[in-house]
Structure 1
Amino acid sequence: MLNDSYNKQWKLDYFKIFATEHDNVSQLEEADKLKFGHFPPVIGNFYENPIDEESLKKICEGKLKLSKAKFDENYNDEIVQIDYVNTIKGQLNNLMKQQIAQLNEEDPTFLSDEEKKIIEEADFPFIRLMTLVYVKDTNEMTDDEQKEWKDSMNNFINQQILFGVVNTYYTMKLYLDNNYVRLFQTPYNKQELWDEYANNKQGFCVVYDFKEISGENAAQLNKLYPILYTDKKLSPDDLNYEVNNSHCASLTAVKQEVKDYYNEWMYIFNHHFTEREYLMLDGMLEPIYSNTFNYEPIQNILKKNYLVPKDDDLEYDYRQIIDDIISELESNTFQNAMKSSMEEVYKITDDEMEVDFLKPEAIYLGTNFPEDKKEEYKQLVEGENIRIFIIKEKDGKFFKALF
């Protein structure tokens, strides 16, 4: 579980706000205050071993290499719960506005001001419009005509809900797959850090300056998030709130023992498909959507009646149909059936990518950094107007020395 024996209280508060208030601007501002108030003046990025000259040059130019979040050993998308209900409500309420406009055009008096207010204040305005229209339209119908009208309406709403759920399901899968990450550490002057992250001090550390916030580094700071430590992989049951923010899948790390020098920050970048990638995506998703809609258990759900008579009115059990659809989409049978097709979709974007980040403040070489590489690094780094230091050890303490 997340508790203060592993994490400072501000991190727990930040994670909860970030996880649950992802669409609440004022709450996210409070979360940012917590993050900015505890962000270190510099952060370090460790490399276990020397890298080739071209890769080092790109780092010095401000480039950062990222990997897909799902490949990180601590990635945990099991805790992320997609808020299908509110997402579908938002999508279908936009459709509702179009339908009301059409009704007004056909008959401006069909809906009274009171009825419009009832629709607007309803839990799910789109469905309230549908059921209210049914009641108004069927007053003079025969029983058979009412049943036919009701079946038609049930089928229409089922279709709209299904499309919304399926679209959200695949959109989120693609969004999660397009999250790229890199882990930063701080402080960089602790021996234990060099042992753990730099292959027993044989590697090096690239340090970035956040002592003064500018427009450039503020934009990057917005993509950096504090890591929470746990003693086991979390499940949704371990939290007393729902995690609706997909970035949280990358913000926990399992550590059997949390050291006092642990202060990791995860950089998260969400890649947006290029025009070429979108064209490829459209072609691949069309048969996937078609197979999903035609999947027999899904078709069976469409045939169910979710309209429930209540007094002289109707209610639609939208939560049940959403649960039914999600249950099928997340079943092992469906997952296995779609696995190969989705793997091809995920190949549209590379497993690694390079993005613009920040020019380093300095580069530090570990105490065991290979002697034959030191001069090569010195020449290249100083040629980019970046300082280079060697980490030295004296009396059990680490300090930096100019190369």
Structure 2
Amino acid sequence: MKMSVKQMCTSALALFYGGLFVPMAQAYSFDMIVPDVRQPAAISGGSACPVRSHQLTAAGSIAVRWSTAPNSNPVTILTQNQTTSGQLTEIEQVIAQALAVWTGVSGTTLVPATLTPLTRTATQNACGPDGVNSICFDQADMAFTPGVLAFTRVITTDRLGVQVGSSAVSTQLGQILDADIYFNPSDSNTSYATPQALAANPKAYDLESLLTHELGHSLGFSHSAVWSAIMFPFAPAPGTFSGMRPTTQQPDAPLGDDDRTGLRALYPDPADVVHVGSISGRIFPANPLALSASPPGVSGVFGAQVVAVDATSGAVVGATLGGWSCTAPGPAQFDGTYEIDGLAVGHSYTVYAEALNGAVDPSQFDNAIVSLCRNTVSDPGWPPLQGCVVPVANTSFTTRTRPGP
């Protein structure tokens, strides 16, 4: 049975400087946050259009520490080396490798220099809203419901000038100020093995696969419904691992094409001239009467997964959760819009829209869905003209195809 990995997102105050823009449902599924327009425009941007949750990528912007107090009764982190120092070194190597997977993708501003050297702490309960990105293997939390192997709790800003604990003061809307990864320490039937120890422990989950997935959340990703993506919301079966192990020749090997496209869309490199293609459009049901009547104004299919398939290789190279657009000053409009960015130019793609009614359902995308709107009910004092209500994701629809120009 596949077990789930879980993500949680906590919103905080944030700031944003910059011009007005026209966001829409874009490549991949990202955590989103609506700026707090109750605040002055100088610190909120003045627009209720959702912005993406993200880390800063300047040199030394992202620091990660990990707790060297793994659960010992029972032992949940299994290593090949059984000495105390050897166990810690082996676990740290896995963390470093999982981080290197994400900084190994070409065409992004997330590069090895973005990270500071990995640090350790002997504190068992090191995870919390302190402005330090931490990884904890033996910290209990109420979020560990049955079936949850690990989760990431992210604090994202919705205005400028905010600080959480010792974090940097926010200079961008959507800036992540704290991201903590928790592994379930309380299930005596669950264990995690390093790559070196996995073959000898076939009932254990692969630590590297789970860490790589959770680190994706700490960078701003929600889940992907593409089964080959590292951000697919279910862990690989015990004794197996996601994708391929990273190598010197392919440092981002565990990632799927969908993961790479998402990272390029979230952290685009201005110098990249290859992955600058995009596909956009709107999704309409074959029967217009099938559109939701509540909330008013829904004019297209919301919550469909839209995928771009490379016509030559047949690989899913990009996917997004479609169905909305936004023009400043907001709010979001649920008009069926989608856009898939970060695609390689010079290729042909086939686009499909499919309902999330299989192994992955809308509940796995909560942080990418419910955060698209704020209103007077969720946030007292919210300007009514910039408020909206997110419709229920449409999980039963038939699309109609309109020929292009």
Please give the range of the TM-score, normalised by the shorter of the 2 chains. under 0.3
TM-score (norm 1): 0.24
**Structure of greater Rg:** 1
Which has a greater percent of helix? Answer: 1
TM-score (norm 2): 0.24
